[in-house]
Amino acid sequence: MTKIKPRVKVPSKAAVGEMLEIKALISHPMHTGRAKDKKGNKIPRKIINKFSASFDGQDVFSANFEPAVSANPYIAFPFKATKSGEFKFTWVEDGGAEFTATKTMTVS
Amino acid sequence: MKKNLEMREISRRHALGMIVAAGSVVATGMPAFADGAAVASKIKELTGSKSIGEGSIELDLPEIAENGNAVKVAFSIDSPMTSDNYVKTVHVMADGNPTPDVASFNFTPAMGACSASTRMRLAKTQNIIVLAEMSDGSFKQAQSIVKVTIGGCGG
């Protein structure tokens, strides 16, 4: 099985009021529960069902994924820089396993 | 000699055509897909049968997707994104997949703008419906068709 690894792209520096685009991706097969393996057995559903992003402890954005989201789910969203702080990104897998990534940003 | 070559060309093309035709028969043989009705009832459930406005949603979808396993879906909605007027939730649905839901996105005023981009699986050519719920409880909708060459059915 491939290793589940999050990757995020956040600028390390930004100006006050600047509009940023935050990109986040996690390597994950996103098994829909419909595909079969080589022996013809159904592969049980296992997907990343939720992504959320917070900045300095405050929730800013979240997404709920269904099996129709592609493998290695990618998400991009806007964010307006107002102050320095830390982003925290969380992905939740079916069954409750969590994967996180953090990134600090300096705003001046 | 020349005539002979031409004939071979035609028969090769003909054979290719037959392969394509056979492929489409297999594709249509797949069972149990969501349809317009499933999406309509989903929308009814989400909106509580409220009227839905049009406009201010910009969709970024390919006209033709060669690979249904990863189709870009992006949207942006014109909104001031202030604490009393912002886009709360956006639902993305597809009417030709086994289930209509693709993803939903929850926005906050802190983002300063309303847009998002991700990648989805499409089983076949179908409509993509984007339904946005505003902070005042009103709804907006936009849709677009994506033609899929090879479905991302995973079956």
Average pLDDT value for residue range B28-37? 62
CA dihedral B145, B147, B150, B154 (to 10 degrees): 10
- Picking from A60, A69, A73, the nearest residue to B111 by CB comes out as A60
The CA radius of gyration of chain B, in Å to the nearest whole number, is 21
- Please name the amino acid found at residue A13: K
Q: Which helix (H) or strand (E) holds A7?
A: strand A6-9
**Residue B37 pLDDT class (50, 70, 90 cuts):** confident
- Picking from A19, A63, A68, the nearest residue to B121 by CB comes out as A68
**Would an 8 Å CB–CB cutoff place B7 in contact with chain A?**
no
Q: What is the pLDDT of residue B31?
A: 47
Residue A20 has pLDDT above 60, yes or no: yes
B13 to chain A nearest CA, in Å? 33
pTM: 0.83
- How much of chain B exceeds pLDDT 90, in percent? 65
Q: What is the pLDDT of residue B107?
A: 97
Average pLDDT along chain B = 83
Residue B109 has pLDDT above 70, yes or no: yes
Looking at per-residue pLDDT, the higher value among A74 and A34 belongs to: A74
Q: What is the pLDDT of residue B155?
A: 41
Return the residue of A nearest to B87 by Cα.
A61
- Alpha carbons B139 and A108: distance in angstroms, whole number: 37
Average pLDDT along chain A = 94
- Picking from A63, A68, A71, the nearest residue to B97 by CB comes out as A68
- Alpha carbons A79 and A100: distance in angstroms, whole number: 19
Return the residue of B nearest to A56 by Cα.
B110
Q: What is the pLDDT of residue A44?
A: 93
Instruction: Give the pLDDT confidence of A28-60 residue by residue, as tens digits.
Output: 999 999 888 899 899 999 999 999 999 999 999
Q: What is the pLDDT of residue B58?
A: 95
**Cβ contact, residue pair A68, B102, below 8 Å:** yes
Return the residue of B nearest to A62 by Cα.
B106
- Alpha carbons B151 and B122: distance in angstroms, whole number: 6
**Cβ contact, residue pair B104, A64, below 8 Å:** yes
Q: Do residues A66 and B103 touch, judged by C-beta distance below 8 A?
A: yes
**Would an 8 Å CB–CB cutoff place B102 in contact with chain A?**
yes
- Please name the amino acid found at residue A37: D
**Would an 8 Å CB–CB cutoff place B82 in contact with chain A?**
no
Average pLDDT value for residue range A12-34? 95
Q: Which helix (H) or strand (E) holds B11?
A: helix B2-28
Give the single-character DSSP code of A36: B
